[in-house]
Amino acid sequence: MWRSIASNALTLFIVLLVVAAGILAWGRETFTGPGPLAEPICFRVERGASLSAVSRGLVEQGAIADARVFRVGADYSDRADGLKFGSYLIPPKASMVDVLSILTAGGQSTCGREVIFRIGVASSDVVLRELDPVSSRYVEVVAFDPAVEAAPTEYLDAANEADMRWRVTLAEGVTSWQVVDALKRADFLTGEVAKVPPEGTLAPDSYEVEKGSERQALVDAMAAAQVRILADLWAARADGLPYDTPEEALIMASIVEKETGIAAERKQVASVFVNRLRQGMRLQTDPTVIYGVTKGEGVLGRGLRQSELRRETPWNTYVIDGLPPTPIANPGALSIEAALNPDTTDYLFFVADGTGGHAFATTLDAHNENVARWRAIEAQQGQDAATGVQGN
């Protein structure tokens, strides 16, 4: 009898061991195997969220198949208390161990929404956008110009989200005055800028900031970035340039920046001005005249008058010889590079060609022909605008 009982107990024990082994194998496979997601999702971990709440949310969004296995796996790997607040991109078929790694790795959120304060030459705006996890592209939610519009409800609500990312983007060719003036309307920043930085000394770029950051600290970061860029490019400059200091190169770069928005043209445009300096010709560039009128405080918003072209100011390169005394805008790295390593050409002239680019010439006769073509294009565009005809 006892032998029978012992035999049955042993059999039951073996069965239990087999079942336990099967459960462990199933759990391991469930935890490490491909997950159920067919498409990527953004998953948000609330501040202070428990492992139970997160695991339930993952099941509800289809990221994992079993909340209990996820919790056991997190406990077993000593990461149950390592959840990091934020929004995270979870890819298709991500295993539970992959999901756990994403949610406990820390660092900046990889998904969710962000606010970009864009400081442009003509205007500035605030854009709230969010990442579409399927296309991995940001989708604009709302945009507004804080100079003329009240902040919409969508923005005000989003601004209170603890994991919102904030960014200030500075376009090439803006003036230092425009930067400081625009930053006054960045309601997520604090403090004041002590004074407008010298023209040309702020690096156009995209700057990650935190809500509540100091405006002066951001401007200081822009200035430090421009110092680094100019120093690096000055060290790699071409030989024989007609300017002797980094500051003069920055002036040239700002002129190039304002003359063309086409990256492929910058070194050609720079070559024209370098050739003119070498031959003792005046630069005769309209953007410098405009700066003499506006001092960089806003956009002229109209064409130059003949009286302004003749008016003597320190920046009017139709009147003065050589470079103006200061930059006329904040140039980007590509324009600085163009000023320090221009193309080798014989060009002395250029004019718009109607495509957004420029036609270059080595002689005045050829330049006049290019100008005549441009005038004809302008006239045709004027006729099309008057009659409502759309160009190609």
The span from the first CA to the last CA of the chain, in angstroms, equals 100
Map out the domains of the chain with their CATH numbers. Answer: 30-111 (3.30.1490.480), 116-231 (no CATH), 237-347 (no CATH)
Q: What is the pLDDT of residue 385?
A: 41
Other CB atoms within 10 A of residue 253 CB: 30
Choose the weakest-confidence range: 132-136, 215-219, 307-311, 315-319.
132-136
Listed as own residue / partner, the contacts of 244-251 with beta carbons closer than 8 Å and 24 or more positions apart are 248/323, 249/336, 249/339, 249/340, 250/200, 250/201, 250/327, 250/331, 250/336, 250/339, 251/200, 251/323, 251/324, 251/325, 251/326, 251/327, 251/328
CB 231 within 8 A of CB 249: no
* Closest listed residue to residue 199, CA positions, set 133, 265, 287, 106: 287
Q: Mention every residue, 6+ apart, whose C-beta is less than 8 A from residue 374.
A: 351, 352, 353, 354, 359
Instruction: Give the rounded distance of the alpha carbon of 346 from its chain centre.
Output: 36
**Residue range 267-277, pLDDT digits in tens:** 999 999 999 99
* pTM score of the predicted model: 0.80
Q: What is the pLDDT of residue 209?
A: 95
What confidence tier does 300 reach under pLDDT thresholds 50, 70, 90? confident
Cα separation of 5 and 49, whole Å? Answer: 50
* Closest listed residue to residue 114, CA positions, set 137, 148, 146: 137
**Residue range 25-78, pLDDT digits in tens:** 445 667 677 878 888 888 888 788 888 888 888 888 888 888 888 888 788 778
Choose the weakest-confidence range: 108-117, 126-135, 290-299, 319-328.
108-117
Q: What is the pLDDT of residue 107?
A: 64
Interstrand relation of 113-119 and 165-170 (parallel, antiparallel or unpaired): parallel
Cα separation of 106 and 91, whole Å? Answer: 17
Q: What is the pLDDT of residue 275?
A: 97
Residue 69 to residues 75, 97, 373, Cα–Cα distance (Å): 10, 10, 73
Helix (H, G, I), strand (E, B) or coil at 178: helix
Cα separation of 340 and 347, whole Å? Answer: 17
The Cβ-side half-sphere exposure at 152, using a 13 Å CA radius, reads 11
The token pair that represents 350 in the structure block: 């250029």
